[in-house]
Amino acid sequence: MPSTNIDATKSPNDTKQYRLLTLDNDLQVLLIQFQPGDDSPDDDYSADGSSDDDNDSEDEDGSEDDDGDESCSDDNDMDAGSRGRPSDVSMGSHPSKGKSSSRRAGACLTVGVGSFSEPQELGGLAHYLEHMLFMGSEKYPDENEFESFLSAHGGYSNGETDCERTSYLFEVGPDHLQHALDMFAQFFISPLMKADAMDRELCAIESEFNQATTSDQIRLQQVLATTADAHHPFQHFNWGNTKSLRDIPAARGIDVRARVRSFYDSHYSANLMKLVVCGQDSLDDMESWVRTSYSPIQSKQ
């Protein structure tokens, strides 16, 4: 499908260039080109659109009691196979997890599905899937390959699971945007979701849950959740922990890995995705990279 230039609608003080396009698989893309050394105020914002000055996040409820788990002890929360990202379940704004810089390029892909769409019997499934997409793909099978590449080039990555959407983002040195975009695209084409990686990421989710239980803000949100209509998904426990994603499913004979894969296959469709890419390369170059790497994402709906 043809691309659209939207420069006519931008501020006269904005030096960036923009292009809006839709791929043949119905994935919508916004490209943003900035000039090296651009000192516009927008450079204080990172790939997810949040400011470095944003310090308040609104985190989702975490209601299930947990007595701790020996296999996910505090000493092992940041297992070598786990990304060890900060809490990433949200009901509102979410702060950047790395310092922004005009010297970085980046991307954010948002999928129009979140915790409200997960099955009642598997609280936290959408959050679990978000973690697993960072853990290797068929094209880039090493679990930490993406994170290692970003770290080697001044970047970082993060994800956020919300009620009705899930977002993935990264920033990287501008000279390495093309390769990072291709690695990122594989999250949504052929993720591996290895069983052993799932065990390690469950420990990371358990750690996030334990940290969340000490937050008065999250406790208040849980009180609000318990007052919701019994049939509304807001009352559903959607943070996830070892109890909701391992112990209870095991007692019921539920294959959690198969259900995570099924959730991905059912909901992660190109027509439900929106991608924003920001870099100092030309719009034509970035469009070419996006069309090459993101066109293979399937539109399933």
Over residues 265-275, the pLDDT tens digits come to 999 999 999 99
Question: Is 221:59 a contact under the CB 8 Å cutoff?
Answer: yes
> 215 pLDDT band (50/70/90 cuts)?
very high
Reduced to 3 states, what is the DSSP secondary structure of residue 290? helix
Q: What is the C-alpha separation between 273 and 26, in angstroms, rounded?
A: 8
pLDDT at 89: 61
Q: What is the C-alpha separation between 272 and 282, in angstroms, rounded?
A: 26
For the question of residue 287 being annotated catalytic, the response is no
Q: What is the C-alpha separation between 279 and 10, in angstroms, rounded?
A: 18
- In whole angstroms, how far apart are CA 177 and each of 52, 98, 115, 146, 234? 21, 17, 30, 12, 38
Whichever domain contains 241, its CATH number is: 3.30.830.10
pLDDT at 91: 40
pLDDT at 274: 99
Range of the domain at 177: 3-294
pLDDT at 223: 87
Q: Tokens for 210, please give them.
A: 């334990």
Tell me the average pLDDT of the chain: 83
Over residues 172-209, the pLDDT tens digits come to 999 999 999 999 999 999 999 999 999 999 999 999 99
pLDDT at 183: 99
Q: Is residue 301 part of a domain?
A: no
Residue 205, phi then psi, degrees to nearest 5: -65, -40
Number of domains in the chain: 1
Q: Is residue 203 part of a domain?
A: yes
Please provide the size of the chain in residues. 301
Is 138's pLDDT higher than 90?
Answer: yes
Q: What is the C-alpha separation between 159 and 156, in angstroms, rounded?
A: 11
Q: Is residue 273 part of a domain?
A: yes
Average pLDDT for residues 100-104, to the nearest whole number? 59
Residue 21, phi then psi, degrees to nearest 5: -145, 160
- 276's CB contacts (< 8 A; 6+ apart) are 29, 30, 32, 47, 107, 108, 109
Question: Is 39:58 a contact under the CB 8 Å cutoff?
Answer: no
pTM of the model: 0.81
Is 149's pLDDT higher than 50?
Answer: yes
Q: What is the C-alpha separation between 108 and 158, in angstroms, rounded?
A: 9
Q: Is residue 231 part of a domain?
A: yes
Q: Is residue 299 part of a domain?
A: no
Q: Is residue 300 part of a domain?
A: no
C-alpha angle with apex 262: 258 to 268, nearest 5 degrees? 140
> One of 60, 64, 118, 201 is an active-site residue; which one?
201
- Least Cα distance to 187 among 207, 209, 166, 202 occurs for 166
Question: Is 87:77 a contact under the CB 8 Å cutoff?
Answer: no
For the question of residue 130 being annotated catalytic, the response is yes
Q: Is residue 94 part of a domain?
A: yes
- Least Cα distance to 170 among 189, 144, 151 occurs for 151
> One of 118, 130, 147, 206 is an active-site residue; which one?
130
Is 90's pLDDT higher than 60?
Answer: no
> 12 pLDDT band (50/70/90 cuts)?
confident
> 37 pLDDT band (50/70/90 cuts)?
low
Range in 66-80, 113-127, 252-266, 272-286 the model is least confident about: 66-80
> 4 pLDDT band (50/70/90 cuts)?
confident
